[in-house]
Amino acid sequence: MVIWIVRAVFVLLVFSLLVSGFSEGGPFNFRDPSTFTLSKTIAFIGCSAIAVLGLCIDLLVKRKNLAALAGLFFGLIVGLLVGLGLNKILDFAYETYSISPDSDLGVAQDGIKFIINVFCSYLAIVFVMQTKDDFRFIVPYVEFSKVTKGMCPLILDTSVIIDGRIADIAATGIIHSPMIVPRFVLKELQQVADSADRLKRNRGRRGLDMLNKMQSDTKRDIKIEDIALNAAEQAEPVDQQLVAAAIKVQGKILTNDYNLNKVASLRGVEVININDLANAIKPVVLPGEAMTVKIVKPGDQMGQGVGYLDDGTMIVVEQGRNYIGKNLDILVTSVLQTSAGRMIFGKPDEENSNGRNSRSDSNRPNSG
């Protein structure tokens, strides 16, 4: 509402200036054609064009970038200063060569100055906008700085906080980037903790406990922030708000939600998925390797036995059903990577099992 009031005041101000300019006694009085000099005409056209252009840019550009606007104004100021200096040189040349104001060059002096100002402003704006990331220039509330990769903030979503593994990962010291929990994520977490469903309520309380645990550790750089979103973005689901927040702070999203991963990828936002990280650090097993596993339950197919590694990786053993509750030496036959994780398939290693059994028999005392 306030921005539309400002726009209305701007339009009324421009309109009043035009009316006063064309009124009697104004610089553009129709009743006195002699007032229409070349310089006044150029000034009138230029000012009107700038006012209309500024209003059109304001209305058409919905998402404005503060750094881009600051670069635009800085380039404009530099260009006008350079143009002012060149205009002084032009005045000195006119005085040196005694060019008459009534001559063709004299009449065109104001037009030449205007072209010089426009040309210098254009070059300065283009130069600043193209090189603002390669130097540092500080003005009030705005800082141009070279973009550095690797230290962008990590934005945590509700699922990764409830999951809890991020607390252990951060405790290892591998994360050096600041972690941000948007205020709307905390609100959603509180709503889950207050849910009437007991399972959801427990998950929400676990997430709040994990967040308190991470905040109490001074070694972790984690904070809750109010990220400014417009009215349209605030009305969207939390996943869309997370993507919009990541774009505003130029950060990455930390989650284990597969759908959020896809949505963020479509909008060009980088995502770190905890599940992908967990799968990446699991030990690599190649076909033909020997290992020992405890068979804990039967498999889906006849004769299969199922065991698990310490990291939760499922191992399916052919002809392993008879060894339920026992440790079994197996040979890895294949490894399958799925969206749910990694699965290892194997078969009993009869050679190692027989060798171990024979060694056990040789160590037994001779009863004869």
Q: Taking the chain (368 residues) in consecutive chunks of 10 residues, what is each chunk's mean pLDDT?
A: 72 71 56 58 68 74 65 82 89 81 69 82 79 54 46 88 87 85 91 90 90 82 84 86 89 89 87 83 82 91 90 88 91 80 86 54 47
pLDDT at 19: 65
What are the C-alpha distances in Å from 119 to residues 45, 55, 75, 124, 184? Answer: 17, 22, 12, 9, 47
Q: Is 285 part of a structural domain of the chain?
A: no
Q: Which of 259, 280, 301 is the last residue of a domain?
A: 280
- 179-182 β-sheet, strand order: 222-225, 179-182, 154-156, 252-255, 271-273
Q: How many helices (H) and strands (E) does the chain have?
A: 14, 12
One domain for residues 186 and 300: no
Between CA 18 and CA 6 the distance in angstroms is 19
Contact 321, 350 (CB under 8 A): no
- The rounded radius of gyration (Å) of the Cα atoms in the chain is 36
CA 355, 359, 362, 365 torsion-angle sign: negative
What three-state secondary structure class fits 363? Answer: coil
Q: Return the exposure string of 156-179: e unless at least 16 CB atoms fall within 10 Å of the residue's CB, then b.
A: bbbbbbbbbebbebbeeeebeebb
One domain for residues 68 and 136: yes
Q: Is 2 part of a structural domain of the chain?
A: no
With 0-12 / 13-18 / 19 or more C-beta atoms within 10 angstroms meaning exposed / middle / buried, residue 343 is middle
Contact 91, 83 (CB under 8 A): no
Task: Identify the domain containing residue 255 by its residue range.
Answer: 154-280
Q: Which of 144, 162, 192 is the last residue of a domain?
A: 144
Residue with tokens 């006119």: 94
- CATH number of the domain bearing residue 346: 2.40.50.140
Residue 330, amino acid: I
One domain for residues 212 and 266: yes
Q: Which of 257, 280, 303 is the last residue of a domain?
A: 280
Between CA 317 and CA 21 the distance in angstroms is 92
What are the C-alpha distances in Å from 358 to residues 102, 224, 318, 362, 365? Answer: 119, 63, 23, 6, 13
Contact 245, 229 (CB under 8 A): yes
Q: Is 311 part of a structural domain of the chain?
A: yes
Q: Is 238 part of a structural domain of the chain?
A: yes
Q: Into how many domains does the chain fold? A: 3
pLDDT at 225: 87
Between CA 89 and CA 243 the distance in angstroms is 53
Instruction: Supply the DSSP string of 68-92, one letter for each residue.
Output: HHHHHHHHHHHHHHHHHHHHHHHHH
With 0-12 / 13-18 / 19 or more C-beta atoms within 10 angstroms meaning exposed / middle / buried, residue 5 is exposed
Q: Is 100 part of a structural domain of the chain?
A: yes
One domain for residues 172 and 274: yes
Whether pTM exceeds 0.75:
no
pLDDT at 333: 92
The token duo for 193 is 């903790």
